[in-house]
Amino acid sequence: MGHRIRTWLKRAVMVAALIAAIVWISDWLLLRLKIARDRNAFGSVEVHYRYALHLKNKRIEQYTAKPRMQECVHSAFPHMNESPCWYLERHANDVQELDSAPWHFYYQ
C-alpha cells in the first residue's frame, strides 16, 4: 500500500512540475512574440519608495525618496530581469524597513 502512495505522489509532483514549466515557457514565448512584432511588451510604472528606520529607542522614522519610473514587462511572470507590470502596479508604494541595530554573525 505504501508503495502505491509513493509512486502516485511522485507522479503528481512530476505532473505539477511539468505543468508549471509549460506555463512559464508559454509565457516567455508570448513575450518574445510581442517583442518580435513590436507590440506592447514593455511598460513602466511609477514606484514610490519609503524607508522605515527602526531606532534604538523603539521609535520609527520614515523617509520618502523621489518617485522613480521602473521598467516592467507585460507578462504573468518576471522575465529579462524585469518585474511584471501587474505586480509593480499593485506594489507601487514600496516600504523598506531598515534596522539600526548592529549586525551580528550570530543570533542572539
The number of distinct structural domains making up the chain is 1
- How many C-beta neighbours within 10 Å does residue 34 have? 16
Could you identify the residue written with the cell 507601487?
A: 92
State the pLDDT at residue 68: 92
Residue 105 lies in a domain: no
State the pLDDT at residue 59: 83
**Residue 17 belongs to domain spanning:** 2-99
Instruction: Name the phi and psi angles at 81, rounded to 5.
Output: 60, 25
Could you identify the residue written with the cell 516592467?
A: 72
Residue 106 lies in a domain: no
Residue 73 lies in a domain: yes
What confidence tier does 51 reach under pLDDT thresholds 50, 70, 90?
Answer: confident
Please provide the average confidence, as pLDDT, over all residues in the chain.
88
Residue 108 lies in a domain: no
